Chain A
Amino acid sequence: MAIGSSTHLGADQPSDLVPPGADPLTAPGAKSRRSRLRLPSSLKVLIGLGTLIAFLLLAVIGPWIAPYNPTRTFSTTVSFPQPPSVAHLLGTTQQQQDVLSQLLAGGRSTVLVAFVAGLVATALSVVVGVTAGYLGGLADDLLSMLANFFLVMPALPLLIVIFGFLPASQGGDDLLIGLIIAVTGWSWGARVLRAQTLSLRRRDYVESARIIGERGWRIIGFEILPNLTPIVASSFLFTVLYGVGTYTALAFLGLINPNHLSWGGMLFYAQVAGAEQSGYWWLFIPPGLAVALLGTSLALLNFGIDEFINPRLRAAGLTRRRARRAGLPGAAQLPRRFVLGLTPVVRYTPVTVTGGVTASHQPDEGGSQ
């Protein structure tokens, strides 16, 4: 999976990491202001949120609503995966296990691992990033180097090596897996948070808190952290997304205990059964789609947070559609979308050639540009 977040990464200057000029974290008199909970307004965010909640529910109740025991084999004589039928809505695996049950039950471990990874990685990134940004100096240099190291190191190969050496018995512990994945996923968030902390540290209200002798951790806790909330949230979602993908990949490679049910594991078995060559689509489409949808919901939510962090990313200006929806007169005069350097003219008075202009305005002299 590729990175697709708005917070771009460049040199270690904070100004390179925060889009220039877009500083929604300050407003006149912004002091330790908790970012208010804004109700999501855009459609894609709502869809993302809804889908995510559905998946979380599935993780909890999945194994209970599965029609059969996921590991139960229905026949020992048939050796080919069976296509979907009335008895097995999504068919059976090569071992004659019900695919639907596996799908519903497998969600739990995927969601669990991903969220554990997300939480731990985010916590790590906050600790490392904020500390590095706040303390500066040698601590900053060392922590930054550590973060950069993990950033550059390709995560999946490293995880493959680690899990490859891990005995199979350990490979079924969701918590441990999540922890190990977290170790490779915290560095990006740490860099962003460090840069943001650096820039916040120079703010007047933080400086004044230091001057009056407030303790470091109090400053961090009350002045800096609240302002980092949207970035932390975005980092969390991104890491969970990363966790989902990585865990699925590891299971697909067979590095996770095969008895431990997960969507990636289902894909592993699909590969073993030669699903793509033989056209057993029900073996790989349901789990793959589930992973993709879970990931999509996280990415959509991230979109929303990105737009919150960087208000410029929200739709610019007033488009014709919006104006019409708002019931504004003269909506038809607006261009379909805003073009830089061509300020829209909703209403205007034409200039008469004689060089003089009559004083009275003629409203509704429709003109559009």
Chain B
Amino acid sequence: MRVISRRIGFYILTAIAAVTVDFFIPRVMPGNPVSAVIAKMQGAVITKATIRALEVQFGANTPEGLWGQYVHYWSNILHGNLGISTSNGMVPVTTVIRGALPWTLGLVGTATVLSFVLGTLLGVLVAWKRGSWLDNLLPATTFFQAAPYFFLAFLAIDLFAIKLGWFPAGSARNTLDFPALDWTYISDVLDHAILPALTIVVASAAGWVVGMRNVMITTMDEDYVLIARAKGLPKSRVIWYAARNAILPSISSFSLAVGFVVSGALLTEIVFSYPGLGFILLTAVQDADYALLQGIFLVITMAVLLANLAADFVYVFLDPRTRQEA
């Protein structure tokens, strides 16, 4: 499993780098973040303690040197302290994130996996039925690839929620209801989740379709697929022969695209007012809640790294050539 341990090492390094980047950005940018935050906090109570806390957070006006601040920053993170969220009533950032994370994981996680599966299957189909009318779908997929996620979200809401009234137009659930683990609650959640999930799936599946189709076409040119035909194997088996090989590069590109898909999904959440990370990201931006911003960035990065790691595991599992056997 040397491959996996190398990858894990790389991810750890990347995580460290991400934290470092997160540390440096407020200190490198022109302008004074502390005053910017304060400017945005009109109407809230600003005590000396608050200002002090902000200064510590952004490294302004502190006796510690840069290295000291860096170490301090790390120790905070490892203790689960991501700072104070100024736009959410001075609660810890971790609390805010913890409230939003499950929604995002549920929606984005499911939608991403679903879109990968659907897109890949469709890609295999288009590749196998090459030369048929399905090929005309491909230029259409470029439109969906190019259209911003949030634009599709707008369209979806306008069409399905407003005009047709099939689905609710936003938020994750009927906020008046008390969350309980019963069917009404769950079905309500699902009802609210369908449209955003659909948007994410449609926006991202196009990429998988084209990618998988291209790899499939190249794979079908391989000798072993010809041999599969020559063996008189049933068609489904031949397709499986090819697809089982073609999926490997797709999984690699999944790792890379996860970042994109997650970003797009966050934007979709915003349009749907879905109370996930995307939504609180927007408020963090608008209210200059830098601590929250940094915290969300870290969380998203870690999630993407984990997804990459998972994809790497799957790749090694599926491709016997990467394993080192006796």
- A interface residues with partner B (beta carbon < 8 Å): 1-6, 8-11, 16, 19-22, 44, 47, 145, 148-149, 151-158, 160-162, 164-167, 170, 188, 241, 244-245, 248-249, 252-255, 267, 270-271, 275-277, 279, 281, 284-285, 288-289, 291-296, 298-300, 303, 306, 310, 312-313, 315-317, 319, 336-338, 340-341
Contacts and interface: CB of A to CB of B under 8 A. Distances in A.
A338 B172 CA distance: 48
How many interface residues does chain B have, given as a range? Answer: 35 or more
Contacts of A281: 158
Contact of B36 (A44, A158, A167, A316): A167
Interface string B157-172: 1100011000001100
B217 A312 contact: yes
Nearest to A319: B131
A284 B145 contact: no
Given A157-B300, A158-B301, 13 more contacts: A1-B260, A5-B214, A8-B211, A8-B252, A152-B11, A165-B31, A167-B31, A255-B285, A281-B158, A285-B154, A312-B217, A315-B135, A336-B132
Interface string B37-77: 00000000000000000000000000000000000000000
A154 B300 contact: yes
B150 A296 contact: no
B206 interface: yes
The dominant DSSP class at the A interface is helix
27 contacts: A1-B145, A1-B146, A3-B260, A5-B210, A6-B218, A10-B249, A20-B218, A44-B138, A152-B255, A152-B304, A153-B18, A154-B258, A154-B259, A157-B266, A160-B281, A165-B29, A252-B150, A288-B151, A291-B147, A292-B147, A292-B151, A295-B142, A296-B139, A306-B214, A312-B217, A315-B130, A336-B131
Interface stretch (B19-27, B86-94, B173-181): B19-27
B323 interface: no
Interface of B: 10-11, 13-14, 17-18, 21-22, 25-26, 29-31, 33, 36, 129-132, 135, 138-139, 141-143, 145-151, 153-155, 157-158, 162-163, 169-170, 203-211, 214-215, 217-218, 220-222, 225-226, 229-230, 238, 248-250, 252-253, 255-264, 266-267, 270-271, 281-282, 284-286, 288, 290, 293-294, 296-297, 300-301, 304-305, 308, 315, 322
